[in-house]
Amino acid sequence: MTYATAVERPVRPNPCIRTFWHMGQRLSFRTSPSRPSGRLPGSTSSAAAELRGVSKTFGAGDQAVRALRDVTIGFAPGVFTAIMGPSGSGKSTLLNVLAGLDRVDAGEVFIGGTEITGLEDRGLTLLRRRRLGFVFQSFNLMPALTARENIVLPSELDRRRVDQDELASLVHSLGIADRLHHRPSELSGGQQQRVAIARALLGRPDLVVCDEPTGALDSTSGAEVLSALRAACDERRQTVVMVTHDAAAACRADRVLVLRDGRLVEEIDAPTLDRVTTALNDAGTPAAAGSVAS
């Protein structure tokens, strides 16, 4: 059952609060009276995710850090986007607000047409569980569980039925079908990250966010992980947003966004190493020396 087919049951008189019952749980979110559908004017309903005029400041007064300044960007389905920029330029903050892990100070964030900036905590948690996949630099696998148990854990916690055919095809395409009964400590770093990718992709979330997914891997394993993310976009039409310091890794993406001081300063479609390196130099950071994208 999707949100669209959930039964709408108004339980509050406030016209700006809409409540849905979904799988026995109540989801409430605010809608703007001027945009009752929850969509941005002029935005395509097909965008997997969008930021519109997003700003985020940490701290206050002299200590204030403006991590994001008026960032507007859309992520179309099936597109692989890499985010680059100097350390402290706002890359992780952008990923976190996109995934609803950080609240914004201004602007709007949409996931699959739902404005998450208006969601209450519980609705946000459910939406994150069902419509977002996460891949971290450090894999974040449960050490006591097998690879298979790790992959299906979010679905089981959410009492969602696991599509066994999808699981089988996913682990086959990731090359980990024969590793499913091993614990993380019995797997290489690249295999662990591919388990984490299978966990993120299972259930076909609207958006998969990856924060330096190849950062802890050797070049061969990193290349395998990038191929897996590339295939997720090309073959499964999933939408991937990846932060990376590696210009060659970023060139496996369909486009590269470059941040500087919390602002989007460059958007490169069909990136080449030359263009990305130049953009990074312009943004004040040299391209990383090591490459995982051979």
Q: Any idea which residue has 């993120």 for tokens?
A: 200
Q: Which of the listed partners (ligand ADP, Mg ion, none) does 169 bind, with a CB threshold of 5 to 8 Å by partner kind?
A: none
* Residue number, 21 or 58, with CB nearest to ligand ADP: 58
Report the C-alpha gap between 64 and 38 in whole angstroms. Answer: 31
Map residues 65-84 to x or -, x wherever contact with ligand ADP holds by CB under 6 A: x-x-----------------
Query: Strand (E) positions, 49-131?
Result: 49-58, 65-75, 80-84, 106-111, 114-115
The size of the interface with ligand ADP (CB under 6 A), counted in residues, is: 12
Q: Give me the amino acid identity at 129.
A: R
Three-state secondary structure along 180-207?
CCCCHHHCCHHHHHHHHHHHHHCCCCCE
Judged by CB under 6 A, which of 87, 164, 185, 294 binds ligand ADP?
Answer: 87
Least spacing, CB of residue 254 vs Mg ion, in Å: 21
Q: Which of the listed partners (ligand ADP, Mg ion, none) does 190 bind, with a CB threshold of 5 to 8 Å by partner kind?
A: none
Confirm if 164 and 172 have CB atoms less than 8 A apart. no
Q: Return all residues near 250 (Cβ < 8 A) that are at least 6 apart.
A: 82, 84, 242, 244, 256, 271, 276
Write out the H or E segment, with its range, that includes residue 240: strand 240-243
With b for 16 or more beta-carbon neighbours within 10 A and e for fewer, the 145-171 pattern comes to ebbbebbbebbeeeeeeeeeeebeebb
Judged by CB under 6 A, which of 18, 50, 82, 85 binds ligand ADP?
Answer: 85
Report the C-alpha gap between 169 and 48 in whole angstroms. Answer: 23
User: Which span (5-13, 88-96, 105-113, 145-153) binds ligand ADP, by CB under 6 A?
Assistant: 88-96
Least spacing, CB of residue 92 vs ligand ADP, in Å: 3
Q: Which of the listed partners (Mg ion, ligand ADP, none) does 21 bind, with a CB threshold of 5 to 8 Å by partner kind?
A: none
Q: Which of the listed partners (ligand ADP, Mg ion, none) does 90 bind, with a CB threshold of 5 to 8 Å by partner kind?
A: ligand ADP
Describe the crossing of helices 189-201 and 164-173 by its angle, rounded to 10 degrees: 150
3-class state of residue 168 by DSSP:
helix
* Cα end-to-end distance, the chain, whole Å: 41
* Residue number, 92 or 278, with CB nearest to ligand ADP: 92
* Residue number, 95 or 167, with CB nearest to ligand ADP: 95
Q: Which of residues 89-108 bind ligand ADP (CB under 6 A)?
A: 89-93
User: Which span (87-95, 110-118, 134-142, 221-229) binds ligand ADP, by CB under 6 A?
Assistant: 87-95
244 in contact with ligand ADP (CB under 6 A) = no
Judged by CB under 5 A, which of 43, 92, 169, 277 binds Mg ion?
Answer: 92
Judged by CB under 6 A, which of 88, 107, 175, 189 binds ligand ADP?
Answer: 88
Confirm if 84 and 278 have CB atoms less than 8 A apart. no
Q: Which of the listed partners (ligand ADP, Mg ion, none) does 65 bind, with a CB threshold of 5 to 8 Å by partner kind?
A: ligand ADP
Which residues in this chain contact Mg ion in the complex, by CB under 5 A?
A: 92
Which residues in this chain contact ligand ADP in the complex, by CB under 6 A?
A: 58-59, 65, 67, 85, 87-93
